[in-house]
Amino acid sequence: MRVLIVDDEPLARQRLAQMVAAQPDCSVVGTAQAGEEALAKVDQLQPDLLLLDIRMPGMDGISTARELMAHPHAPLVVFCTAYDDHALSAFEVSATDYLVKPVRVERLRQALDKAQKLLGAHPPSAQSGPCLQARVRGEIRLIPVEEVHYLLADSKYVEVHCADYSVLIEDSLVSLEERFGERFVRVHRNCLVALEQLAGLRRSDDGSTCVSLRSGAQLEVSRRNLAAVRRVLKARA
């Protein structure tokens, strides 16, 4: 497993590098001291995993991880921080694990083992585009955006509907639209539909309008969004 270490403190980078190098099947492919540098090195080095500090000058670790979520071959992220008050924010950006400094060898080994299992189930080379990340029974599941049929807001979660399964994620529908708006069209205030799934419009018995998906699903279209959906269908005809 290829690991990139990101920390603004040289001694912290050195210590983590030594600890990672001592683990089987792990290698340190590089280090970075800031979020902007980390993003550039992800493109250059294509690591499998980032050991990422949170409090850094400039772009902090949370912002860096958020940027990586839309990366076509996003590495997994394990946060390593001296502060334990960022755990909620860390898992909002789908971190694989959260380690508090000083990092213990055993805890690091657990985080690396978890990452290796996730990579084995969803190798980066098999990902053809950006992914959503869901937590399923305590584990991270990567969902290629191209497999998503539609996204449905439900309370504080979003339901991700694919061909043969659905999962919940904690991203907001607004943030998903901002990140992947070129792949979806909003049909209702609580629903985004993949452009590739659009099949047509139909009037239901109660007078409302529904969009038909290629999968066979029928979803209500609000009056506010009807014109935009018609434009998209016309452009794709």
Tell me how far apart the alpha carbons of residues 237 and 225 are, in angstroms, rounded to a whole number: 19
Query: Within this chain, do residues 156 and 55 fall inside the same structural domain, yes or no?
Result: no
160 lies in some domain? yes
Domain annotation covers residue 141: no
Number of domains in the chain: 2
Instruction: Examine the domain organization and report whether 64 and 156 are in the same domain.
Output: no
Mind listing the pLDDT tens digit of every residue in the chain (237 residues)?
A: 999 999 999 999 999 999 999 998 899 999 999 999 999 999 889 899 999 999 899 999 888 988 887 776 789 999 998 876 655 455 556 678 888 889 999 999 999 998 988 887 555 444 445 778 777 765 567 788 889 999 999 888 999 999 989 999 888 899 899 989 899 999 999 999 999 999 999 998 888 999 999 999 999 999 999 999 999 999 987
* 48-87 core/surface letters (b: 16 or more CB in 10 A; e: else): bbbbbbbebeebbbbbbbbbbbeeebbbbbbbbbeeeebe
Nearest Cα to Cα of residue 104 among 201, 226, 16, 211: 16
Bond before 47 cis per omega within 30 degrees: no
The helix or strand, by DSSP H or E, that contains position 30, with its residue range, turns out to be strand 27-32
What is this structure's pTM? 0.53
Domain that holds residue 92: 2-126
The one-letter amino acid at 190: N
